[in-house]
Amino acid sequence: MKFHRRTLLTLAGTFLPPFSALHGRSLDTDSFAPQQVVVKLFGAGLGSLDSYGTGVLVTAEGHVLTVASHLVSAGFLTAVTSDGKRFAAETVATEPSLDAALLKLKTEPSDQFPCIDLKSALDPEPGTPVLAWSNMFRVAAGNEPVSIVHGVIAASVPLEAVQGKWKFPLQSRVWLIDAITNNSGAAGGLLTDDSGRPVGLIGREIRHAVSGTWVNYAVPLTTLRPAVEAMLEGRKLAAAQPQRNTPALSARELTARFGLALMPAVLERTPAWVDGVIPGSTAAAAGIRRGDLIVLIGDAVITSEADARRRLAEYRPGQKIAITVSRDEQLQELSLVVAASATDNR
């Protein structure tokens, strides 16, 4: 994409048809800029997990914000920009507490993209009319414009949702929307006000923990902005790019330091199953049991046994670690304090 600034601005004015009269008033054509910043994502799906999703360009160099879904963790992502061009996309970082992932399109250094300015994101009140822009149901292909649905911000609430049997890890206030955004491929799309100004990131296909109904929600961009900035600057710890300066603990070190043994890594991605806990150890004190599956350490999703050893290596004596395990199909959050006596000889 060898765009120049002028080309981009012209595109916004001419490429797209005029937006007419939502809620009885006319909107100028620039409102269609969301069409330009939303990208269609394609990756690996399996069974009920779709192979497609949506993302939003947040930098001119081609950083894309989306949800931290299976598409991101599986890798091999392709992004299709509004002009129909295809790019490979790699994960820069994820932020599980906000269910956010930052991708980078593999581009030429000179490539420039239209993007939203997160600093200009609005924080509207419930009752505000909104539009949701997404690749839902993969209706649009190539350079075809993404689907738009309309609605109103119904409430601003903490999300209590489940994904299958799991508690959904998102720990932020979200907007509930009265439009149906809970659709295949819509997650990671852009929520704007009815003038096209950016507001939020469309959430995933999850159900409410109590009612079991499908939740239509979006995470405010004002909430996501610090995390995106951190991910851009590489400040935040990120599962996708483990910090290389702390080597992973060996299985022996893990047992020595925490009194914890994990199922040996027979495959590249052997899950972090707890194989044994030494009585009286730090792990035992935290309540970890044989058979637990470690799913979160701090706010990082643990995808494998190796991932757990790498993550636990980062903590120093006296630090408190929040470890979330899955036990009997329930998530349990345990607290582990790294004991001074458990320090190894280094």
Partner 1 sequence: MGRCSVCLLVFLSTLTPLTAEDLRQNERQRIEVIQRIAPSVVCVMDSAGAGGGSGVLISADGFAISNYHVTSGSASFLKCGLNDGKVYDAVLVGIDPTGDVSLIQLQGRTDFPFATPGNSDNVRAGDQCLALGNPFLLASDFSPTVTWGIVSGTRRYQYPANTFLEYTDCIQIDASINPGNSGGPLFDIQGRWIGINGRASFEKRGRVNSGAAYAISVNQVLNFIDHLKCGLIVDHGRTDFTVESDEQFNVIVRQVSELSEAWRRGLRSGAILESFAGRQLSSANDFQNVVGIFPEGTRIPLVWRDRSGRHSATVRLGPLHSFRKAPELPQERRQGPPDEQAEAEAQEQPSAELQKLFIARDGFSNYYYNQLATQQLLTPLRMRLADIPPAAAWKIQLNSVEQDPGLQAELVVTADTIGLRLNDRSWLQNTTQPNMQEEPAMFPGFLIAIGQLHRMLQKEGPAFDELTAAGKTLHLPSGRTLKVLNARSGTRLARWYFDDQEALPVALDLEPEAATDEIRLIFADWKTWQGVIFPERLGIVDPATEQVRWLQTSDAIGKQESGK
Decide if 43 contacts 76 (C-beta within 8 A).
yes
CA distance 176 to 219: 9
Q: How many residues bind partner 1 (CB under 8 A)?
A: 61
H or E stretch at 235: none
2 binds partner 1 (CB under 8 A): no
136 binds partner 1 (CB under 8 A): yes
- The amino acid at 180: I
Return the bridge partners of 88, or none: 78
Strands (DSSP E) along 119-216, which ranges? Answer: 129-134, 147-158, 161-163, 166-167, 173-177, 190-193, 198-202, 207-208
Q: Quick one: which of 20, 110, 211, 341 contacts partner 1 (CB under 8 A)?
A: 20
Q: Quick one: which of 41, 100, 176, 179 contacts partner 1 (CB under 8 A)?
A: 179
Return the bridge partners of 177, or none: 153
Minimum gap (Å) between residue 66 Cβ and partner 1 = 18
Q: Quick one: which of 79, 146, 218, 228 contacts partner 1 (CB under 8 A)?
A: 146
Minimum gap (Å) between residue 90 Cβ and partner 1 = 19
Pull the structure tokens for residue 109.
């250094």
**Helices (H), strands (E): how many in the chain?**
7, 21
CA distance 234 to 241: 9
CA distance 124 to 126: 7
Neighbours of 341 (CB within 10 A): 6
181 binds partner 1 (CB under 8 A): yes
Among 284, 292, 293, 296, which Cα is nearest to 342's?
Answer: 284
Minimum gap (Å) between residue 274 Cβ and partner 1 = 34
Using CB under 8 A, which of the segments 173-181, 243-251, 279-287, 290-298 binds partner 1? 173-181
Q: Quick one: which of 97, 195, 222, 241 contacts partner 1 (CB under 8 A)?
A: 195
Decide if 180 contacts 216 (C-beta within 8 A).
yes
114 binds partner 1 (CB under 8 A): yes
Q: Quick one: which of 14, 21, 109, 244 contacts partner 1 (CB under 8 A)?
A: 21
Decide if 345 contacts 330 (C-beta within 8 A).
no
326 binds partner 1 (CB under 8 A): no
155 binds partner 1 (CB under 8 A): no
Q: Quick one: which of 54, 66, 69, 112 contacts partner 1 (CB under 8 A)?
A: 112
Q: Quick one: which of 72, 92, 93, 140 contacts partner 1 (CB under 8 A)?
A: 140
CA distance 239 to 254: 19
Using CB under 8 A, which of the segments 74-82, 131-139, 238-246, 253-261 binds partner 1? 131-139
The site string for partner 1 over 52-91 (x = CB under 8 A, - otherwise) reads -------xxx----------------------x-x-----
Q: Which residues bind partner 1 (CB under 8 A)?
A: 3, 5, 8-9, 12, 17-25, 27-28, 30-33, 36-37, 59-61, 84, 86, 112-117, 119-120, 131, 136-137, 139-150, 179-181, 183-184, 195-198, 205, 214
